[in-house]
Chain A
Amino acid sequence: MSKVALFLLILIPQFFVQMSRAEAVLDPTLPRILQGKTLSPEETIKYGSYLFKISNCRDCHMEKGGAFLAGGYKIDSPFGTFYGPNITPDKDTGIGRWTDDDFIRALRRGVAPNGRNYYPSFPYSSYSKMSDTDILAIKAYIFSRPAVKKESKKHELKFPFNIREFISAWKQANFRMVGSYSEDNFIKARGPYQAIPTRDWEWNRGAYLVEGPLHCAQCHTPRDQIGNFKWTKWMSGSRLGAGEKAASNITPSQKFGLGKWTAQDWETFLLEATSKNGTEVTGKMEGVIDQGTSRLTPADLRAVIKYLMSLKPVESSETKKGSKKEDTL
């Protein structure tokens, strides 16, 4: 019997080591099916179209009835009105002259090719977590689309938000991780997502998608009066959500959030835009589902749901205080 114990003592730890190694070699920034593959330029454009759509880029860079990605979409906020710019490959009015480095710098650091900071209405604090591969696949897709000559509208912002230097202060507060990269604070980090070793691959894939390309926190996390994220209330709902309705608390809080939702409820919601109580989703979220989450592959959808259901429950909801009607979840 002691020999059995000896075998087990030797082999069981090896089993777990093998298991963690197998997980470690999988990159959470790529779907399993693309792990280790090199894509041709055509395949990169196709893959980029997937990322572009789940990231819902179109919604902010295209006005209703306007040309694809030619900008003009109006975003009203307490800071003023933002207009999505032209991101077609037009060399004069779009981003046609941008290099790969320019594109990566814009999404990763929120800095334009001319060195100016972008306003955080462009959700680069989420996109920053995307890998170079994914960012450049999106660029390849955008550059495969027609160029449209159309000047971007200037933002109409209130003082002091109309001073670009203000953005530097915002970045200092919201775009700079303090401490080590871990499950508890990776949401604050700037730069490509790093796998959290204490979690399995699927959770990591979900974390990457939700906190990166899907940029859910941008609407679902409350902010203070100058737009700083309330880090301890991550995803607990916000009155500043884009559109006419407030964004709901999507943490698993039983009272304030979606703690009663099963994985099936989440799946129905993210694919069919129908909430657990049977109501159809309206407002901005309807577009997010239509253009974005309903296009997730089943594997990515499972990962997204796994991560969302693992969020820390936040027992409050700022949406109750606001005048905006809460999104219909």
Chain B
Amino acid sequence: MKTITLGWAIALSFLFVGCSQFSEPQGLGNTANQNTNQKLGPVTKIDPTFESIKANILEKKCIACHNPEGDKEAKDIPLSTETDVVRGTSDSGDLIVAGDPNNSVLYQSVASYAAIRKKVKAMPPSTSKHAPLTGDEVMAIAAWITSLAPGSSGGDSPVELSSVSPIAGGQCPTVPVTTEPLIQEPSVIDYAFIKSQILDKKCTSCHKADGKADELVFGSRDEMVSLKNEFSQAMIVVGHPETSLLYLSLLKDKASRRDTRWMPPRKELNEGTSKDITSQETSLVKKWIEQGAR
């Protein structure tokens, strides 16, 4: 009897493996949505200090390899202490150039845009079990390096990551250390606000008739709500940002974005013809859809 049970267990395990091969989310199903919600969770605020960056980023995604006992070349670039990092060098240059993230290998290696990475190897490597850094994590590193500039007040003030300005065109990023959001949030977020504060500034140069993205023209509120992409997926699902392509496309985390194209396109950002979406703007879009996309 035990033998038979064991046999069924093995057989069933094969069947489950078989099912999982074909259960990749195709559309915007509920299961995938639940996963997305879990991933989206509350955003951790990372201070522009080494302690905060170490605890929230380095220890989670870097130090497993970048320690004296670590892998291959990684062990030669330890990231365990502030001295290791600030004085560290790699084949591509110094890990930190105080006040200048764009010439700091630590920042370049984790930047999303190839124009900023230049010849620096992207980290974590694609073969790593660690996820790429989120936009906020990258910006926290940039903010800390900026705060190291001679004459800077240092990294004492917590960075409101949602207020961090985008990086484009390989220019030195502006990283305002402020707790004030860039956009004053109204009590009721309506379409006129979303359109004027976000869409018209960062989307409709392409998403217009005769624009590069003329298949998805961002028009009136009603047009937006009925708008579908080339595969008949809804841009807005009222009340459900987690299934709305408009919101998903803005998420910097690849897994959360799932099979949605990342907007604005990275090429446009590299060229400086488009500006990236800030975390606050993403959050406002989410709230607008949650509150009924009025």
Residues of A within 8 A of B (CB): 1, 3-4, 6-8, 11-12, 15, 18-19, 22, 31-35, 37, 39, 43, 46-47, 49-50, 53, 68, 262-264, 268, 271-274, 277-278, 280, 289-290, 294-295, 297-299
Contacts and interface: CB of A to CB of B under 8 A. Distances in A.
A195 to B, nearest CB: 16
Given A6-B7, A49-B214, A49-B230, 8 more contacts: A4-B3, A15-B14, A32-B26, A39-B232, A46-B229, A262-B126, A272-B114, A280-B270
Nearest to A50: B230
B115 interface: yes
B265 A271 contact: yes
B261 A11 contact: no
A4 B6 contact: yes
A241 B15 CA distance: 49
B233 A33 contact: yes
B114 A47 contact: no
Contacts, number: 105
Interface in B245-294: 257-261, 265-267, 270
Given A43-B228, A47-B231, A50-B215, A274 B259 contact: no
B10 interface: yes
Contacts of B119: 277-278
Nearest to A277: B119
**Nearest 5 Cβ contacts at the A-B interface:** A7-B7, A274-B114, A50-B230, A49-B215, A278-B118
Nearest to A7: B7
B4 interface: yes
Contacts of B259: 33, 297-299
Nearest to A31: B231
Given A15-B15, A31-B231, A298-B260, A273 B267 contact: yes
Given A33-B26, A271-B266, A274-B115, A7 B232 contact: no
A131 to B, nearest CB: 16
Interface stretch (B16-24, B45-53, B77-85): B16-24
A7 B5 CA distance: 11
Given A46-B232, A278-B117, A3 B4 contact: yes
Interface string B226-239: 00111111000000
Contacts of A1: 3
B27 interface: yes
Interface in B119-146: 119, 122, 126
Given A33-B27, A33-B233, A271-B266, A4 B10 contact: yes
B21 A294 contact: no
B7 A3 contact: yes
11 contacts: A1-B3, A22-B21, A22-B22, A32-B24, A43-B228, A68-B210, A264-B122, A272-B115, A274-B114, A278-B117, A298-B259
B191 interface: no
B8 interface: yes
B7 A4 contact: yes
A308 B162 CA distance: 38
Most B C-beta atoms less than 10 A away, residue of A33, A263, A280, A298:
A33
Contacts of A272: 113-115, 266-267, 270
A34 B126 CA distance: 29
Residue among A4, A297, A299 with most chain B CB within 10 A: A4
B11 interface: yes
A47 B7 CA distance: 47
A277 B114 CA distance: 9
Interface string B1-45: 001101110110011011001101011000000000000000000
Nearest to A53: B215
Contacts of B4: 3, 7
Nearest to B11: A11
A50 to B, nearest CB: 4
Contacts of A46: 215, 228-232
A43 B232 contact: yes
Given A47-B230, A272-B115, A274-B115, A12 B14 contact: yes
Contact of B18 (A19, A53, A273): A19
